[in-house]
Amino acid sequence: MSPTTPRPSGALAAAVATSLLLGACGAPSPDDASAGTTTPGPAPETTAASEPAPTAEPTTAAPAPSSAAPTGTPSAGPTEPAGPAEPVKLVTYTGTAADAAFAFELPATWAVDGEFTDVGGTVAVVGPDGAPVGHLSVLIAWGAECGPDCSTPPVVHLGDVPGSVPLSASGDFVVRSVAMDLTSAPEIRNAYGWPDSVRLVTSLTDAEVPPPTGMLPHVMHGLGSVETGVVAPNGVTYRTVIFSSVHDFATLEEAQAYVASEEHRQVQAMIASFRA
């Protein structure tokens, strides 16, 4: 297949705070109804033969209860729940490739390996262990050969995450994850040099492109395009962007488990932050 130039499309895309009020309850005030006055009655008559009033027997007050703390070993109080995990520190990578200026965020423990040229190229994003977690390509023209086999085996769509800012040429994009299982087709897997039976690809994809049911084994990523205003040798002013992450697994279940991992969430967030 001869090189093809993607056709840009356009479309536009689009905290909850919680508070807790604590109140202190004060001591109740006396009841006014029980604080009324009493009117004295007439004084009693007295006579010479009246006997003195009996003397009241003294009473002994009961001892006040002791306020001392009870003896014994106090039981441990309830365990405080663990607080929220520390947010991942991010850094911003900015660059220019093939006249397209761009930026994206990545975890501070990751790094960009490689450099772009005036005509574009590809750089890798590597994790703390130096293993690639993503690749970014900015190209003047893009095309793909059919390869040793033009069949399009089925893929499993594992979800989309919306991009943060629409691209200047193709508009809204999503970060799409798809997986292909070639366990039953080892000849195709070997023809493309897969190290395992299942490949998971997460990539920047034009939001207008519906989730696929089948793909070429070596072209499982999406595309986007950005406007530069600079006419390239092929006569176009936009540039093609391929931002993807590729992982290989022995089984589809392992790929699905990785999709639920924190690293995959960070990959999605990194690709979704791309802007140009």
Query: What are 16-37's pLDDT values in tens digits?
Result: 233 332 333 333 333 333 333 3
Q: What's the CA gap between 211 and 124, in Å, rounded? A: 26
According to the model, what pLDDT value does residue 33 have?
35
Residue ranges, the chain, pLDDT below 70: 1-85, 145, 147-149
Q: Give tens-digit pLDDT for 121-160.
A: 999 999 999 999 999 999 998 777 676 668 899 999 999 9
Of residues 82, 101, 100, the one with CA closest to residue 92? 101
Q: Mean pLDDT, the chain, as a whole number?
A: 78
* Radius of gyration of the chain, Cα coordinates, nearest whole angstrom: 38
pLDDT attached to residue 143: 73
Q: What is the distance between the alpha carbons of residues 138 and 131, in angstroms, rounded to a whole number?
A: 21
pLDDT given for residue 22 in this prediction: 31
Question: Which single residue is written with the structure tokens 């193709």?
Answer: 170
Token pair belonging to 78: 């309830």
Fold of 90-272: Protein Transport Mog1p; Chain A (3.40.1000)
pLDDT (0 to 100) of residue 57 = 42
